[in-house]
Amino acid sequence: MEERIDSVEGIRQWTGSIPLHYEYTAGVAGERFLRGLAQGKIQAGYCANCKEASLPLRIYCIKCYGGVERSVLVRSAGKVAALTKTQFGQGGERLGEPVAFAYITFEGVTGGLVHRVADGVRVGSSVRPRFKPKRKRTGSILDIEFFERDLRPRTS
């Protein structure tokens, strides 16, 4: 019996998908950084040759290509270098409330981190990470819930 085609759509296209899942190896530097987050710490790599700390943590220096063995604790407050409020999620869905993201830099550290920020944060704001409660941390960038304004009095 012949099948009857009653719509041109059916013959003009077909749909398919690529169901792919990954388990990315964190690596030496990645593991060190993520373990640090689980302990409520942000760590930068330190190149002894360039005498420079940088984020994200890597096992090599992108300037001199030397090995980076040391990591240093980022103690300084972050500073918001750029700010955006996103209206759509990664699946293209409209978000109920816009989500604020910032690019955050740290004094004495090259590079920085992109992360979510709390309401009221402005460009130039001094910010600090709000970590999840310790028992809820998994060694993920999401162990930092967001960055919020650092209202601590300046020590210097």
Partner 1 sequence: MEKAGRSTIVLLKTGRVEIIGVGYEGFRPVVSDLSTRELMFQAASKAYDDASVNPRRDVGSFICCTEDLWEGWSITDEMVPDQIGAAGRPLCTIPADAVTGLGTAVMHILSGLAEVVVLEAHSKAADVLDKNAVEVMAQEPSLLRPLGATSDTLAGLEMDAFLRTSGFSLKDVNRAVVRGKASALRNPRASYGGKFSEADVESSEILSSPLRVADKAEFAEAGIVLVLASEAWAKKNKRDSVGIDGVAWNSSLPWIEGGEMSVSGYAQRSYSDAVRRAGFKGDLEDFDILELDDTYSYKLLQHLLSLAGTKAAARRILSGKRTALNPSGGSLGVGNLVEASALHRLLECALQLRGEAGSIQVKGAKKALVQSWRGIPTGTGGVAILSR
Residues 6+ apart with CB under 8 A from 81: 102, 103, 104, 105, 112, 123
Q: How many residues sit in the footprint of Zn ion (CB under 5 A)?
A: 7
Complex with Zn ion: residue 63 or 134, whichever CB lies closer: 63
Nearest to residue 101, comparing CAs of 149, 137, 147?
A: 147
User: Is residue 142 involved in binding partner 1 (CB under 8 A)?
Assistant: yes
Answer whether 44's CB lies under 8 Å from 105's CB. no
- List binders of partner 1 among 26-85 (CB under 8 A): 26, 30, 33-34, 54-56, 62-63, 81-85
Task: Please identify, using beta-carbon distances, which residue of 62 and 73 lies nearer to partner 1.
Answer: 62
Taking CA atoms, 20 is separated from 16, 23, 148, in Å, by: 13, 10, 35
Distance between CA atoms of 102 and 144, rounded to whole angstroms? Answer: 13
Minimum distance, C-beta of residue 105 to Zn ion, in the bound complex (Å):
19
Please, what is the minimum distance in Å from the beta carbon of residue 50 to partner 1? 9
In the complex, minimum distance from the CB of residue 72 to Zn ion, in angstroms, rounded to a whole number: 14
User: Beta-carbon neighbour count of residue 18 at 10 Å?
Assistant: 4
For the window 15-54, what string marks contact with Zn ion as x by the rule CB under 5 A?
--------------------------------x-xx----
Residues 6+ apart with CB under 8 A from 51: none
CA angle 124, 113, 134 (to 5 degrees): 105
Instruction: Show contacts with partner 1 in window 98-127 (CB under 8 A).
Output: 98-99, 101-103, 110-116, 123
Does position 63 bind Zn ion by CB under 5 A? yes
| Interface contacts to Zn ion, rule CB under 5 A | 47, 49-50, 61, 63-64, 66
